[in-house]
Amino acid sequence: MSEVLRAEGLSKRFTGIKANENVSFSMEAGSIRAIIGPNGAGKTTFLSMISGHLPPTTGKIFHKGQDVTRMDVVKRARRGILRKFQTPSVFDELSVYENLEIAVLGTNRAADPRPARIRSVLETVRLADRPDALCKHLSHGQRQWLEIGLLLGRNADLLLLDEPTAGMTAEETAATASLIKELTKDHTLSVIVIEHDIDFIRDLEAPVMVLHLGEVLTEGSFDSVANDQRVRDVYLGT
Ligand SMILES: Nc1ncnc2c1ncn2[C@@H]1O[C@H](COP(=O)(O)OP(=O)(O)O)[C@@H](O)[C@H]1O
Ligand SMILES: [Mg+2]
């Protein structure tokens, strides 16, 4: 296995706030990593430094061994570091298929715009039976899945998902965990996912990093983290 991402001593300070403090992190290509922690723990800030939306105050980020610390968002996206934001950005008046076509044809020359590729993405994100549906008619969960599909339609290598199940029904949430596991099952795509829903995190069966006050409180399997008294104190107990 090879390393897809490594962060060394990442810190991010806003005026008077240590949003991230000396966060080090590494993950293997083709794996899933969950990040949990209470509100304000620094989870989104961490993801923003990985995607290139925020420059770290100190520290370094390596993608597949290359230092990307000073690389801008667009260049990182071309390397396949793609981020899904919490607010959906699909075109409501266009169909599922059209949204995907735009994503694929849009910016990325390395992406594959052939119908077969688009069909395969639709299947992955559980929208194969709704290619012609207008996005405004999708359920909240389906819109979130389409957003993931839009990332897959480009040449994704590392997906960054910030609270992808927010607002979903229990069924949609469970289906999202299966979907994310399927994405990584051939060990090419990697996923970092921030979530609050503990059942969802358990379903991912992935290592968990716990952030608290901008620092790594602990890291490990779901069970080891869930049974850690410090984690219970700051997060699960709340
Ligand atoms: N752009 C910003 N300017 C100032 N403070 C920020 C900014 N973004 C986040 N913060 C602060 O940094 C801390 C971590 O925030 P965030 O990364 O959003 O946490 P989380 O995603 O874990 O809820 C919080 O105290 C938040 O208020
Ligand atoms: Mg956040």
Q: With respect to residue 142, please indicate whether it lies within any of the assigned structural domains.
A: no
Residue 146, pLDDT score: 95
The predicted pLDDT at position 91 comes to 92
Question: What is the residue range of 38's domain?
Answer: 1-80+191-238
Site to probe by mutation for ligand 1, drawn from 36, 45, 50, 86 as the one with most ligand atoms within 8 Å of Cβ, is 45
CATH code at position 48: 3.40.50.300
Residue 238 in any domain: the answer is: yes
pLDDT of residue 69: 98
Higher pLDDT, 109 or 91: 91
pLDDT of residue 113 exceeding 70, the answer is no
| Ligand 1 site, residue 17, Cβ cutoff 6 A | yes
Residue 111: is its pLDDT beyond 70? no
Q: What is the mean pLDDT of residues 141-150?
A: 94
Q: How many Å lie between the centroid of ligand 2 and the Cα of residue 115? A: 35
Task: Check whether 4 has a pLDDT greater than 80.
Answer: yes
pLDDT of residue 89 exceeding 90 = no
**Ligand 1 nearest-atom number relative to CA 38:** 22
Long-range CB contact pairs, 77-80, < 8 A, 24+: 77/107, 77/108, 77/154, 78/108, 78/110, 78/155, 79/157, 80/154, 80/155, 80/156, 80/157, 80/158
Residue 137 is given by DSSP the state: G
Please give the distance, rounded to the nearest whole angstrom, from the Cα atom of residue 54 to the centre of ligand 2: 14
Tens of pLDDT, residue by residue over 202-225, are 999 999 999 999 999 999 999 999
Our count of domains for the chain comes to 1
Is the CB of 19 inside a 6 Å radius of any atom of ligand 1? yes
Ligand of minimum distance to the alpha carbon of 36: 1
Q: What pLDDT is stored for residue 110 in this prediction? A: 60
Q: Is residue 76 one of the residues assigned to a domain?
A: yes
